[in-house]
Amino acid sequence: MSAPVVLQVAASPVSPALVLRPWRMADVAALVEVSRAPALRQWASSVVANDADGTRWVQAQQQGWAAGCRFGFAVLEAQPAPVREQLVGSVVLKEVTSGKPAAEVGYWTAAHARGRGVASRALEALTCWAFDTFEADGLERLELLHQVDNLASCRVAQKSRYDFDTILPAAPPSFPHDGHLHIRRTST
Ligand SMILES: CC(C)(COP(=O)(O)OP(=O)(O)OC[C@H]1O[C@@H](n2cnc3c(N)ncnc32)[C@H](O)[C@@H]1OP(=O)(O)O)[C@@H](O)C(=O)NCCC(=O)NCCS
């Protein structure tokens, strides 16, 4: 992909417009700040505790874009000038392989921005972009996995038309509880 991908999401009655764009090194300080929230540490798969972790994490996102297998977007809330856009979340398309019918999505929202549709609106934009971009290359379905006790994530899946598919057995230590697999197909 030559030019950086930037996705725009319109404002809602309770939330400013969103901009989704690839992660930059300049995001590290804000990433470390939002990663302090306990809920992010509980549910997110990697922990960013300091600038060194944040730098490695952003580098991994950039390597994913370069390799064409993982596409991580920072989610920012547009702010009136001269205030800078504020980091409010993350969405990612991962496990992308040419010719493979399935890929996976993931997301988190900064604690201060939850409950106003950031994850579901960003996920919708990611989903549309993923199918537009990779359907011709064989992508047919997107998978969303969460632990059964992550009720907010289950609700995001439902709102975003990722239908419940099956229960996934626990796989400790990474996944101590059973999980849900939700799927959205190109046609829905
Ligand atoms: C899950 C998460 C991404 C949701 O982000 P968000 O921006 O608040 O999501 P949205 O506002 O789009 O939707 C959240 C929905 O969950 C609901 N919700 C929140 N907490 C809930 C709970 N404890 N039980 C049931 N529903 C809950 C909200 O009411 C909302 O539904 P509604 O719009 O019908 O009212 C966020 O809580 C988060 O980052 N959690 C930690 C990381 C994580 O779990 N990532 C997903 C891993 S699979």
pLDDT at 93: 98
Select from 165, 91, 78, 149 the least CA-distant residue to 121: 91
Which residues form the domain of 108? 7-185
Largest pairwise CA distance in the chain: 49
Domain containing residue 160: CATH number: 3.40.630.30
Residue that the structure tokens 């990779």 belong to: 134
pLDDT tens-digit series, residues 116-138:
999 999 999 999 999 999 999 99
Residue of the nearest CA to atom 24 in ligand 1?
A: 151
Residue type, 115: G
Ligand 1 environment, Cβ below 6 A: 39-40, 43-44, 107-109, 114-120, 146, 150-153, 155-156
Q: Is residue 132 part of a domain?
A: yes
Q: Is residue 146 part of a domain?
A: yes
Number of structural domains in the chain: 1
Q: Is residue 102 part of a domain?
A: yes
pLDDT < 50 positions in the chain: none
Q: Is residue 1 part of a domain?
A: no
List Cα–Cα distances, 139 to 22, 39, 53, 124, in angstroms: 21, 32, 32, 16
Residue of the nearest CA to atom 19 in ligand 1?
A: 152
pLDDT at 45: 65
Mutate to test the pocket of ligand 1, among 41, 76, 114, 154 (most ligand atoms within 8 A of CB): 114
Q: Is residue 2 part of a domain?
A: no
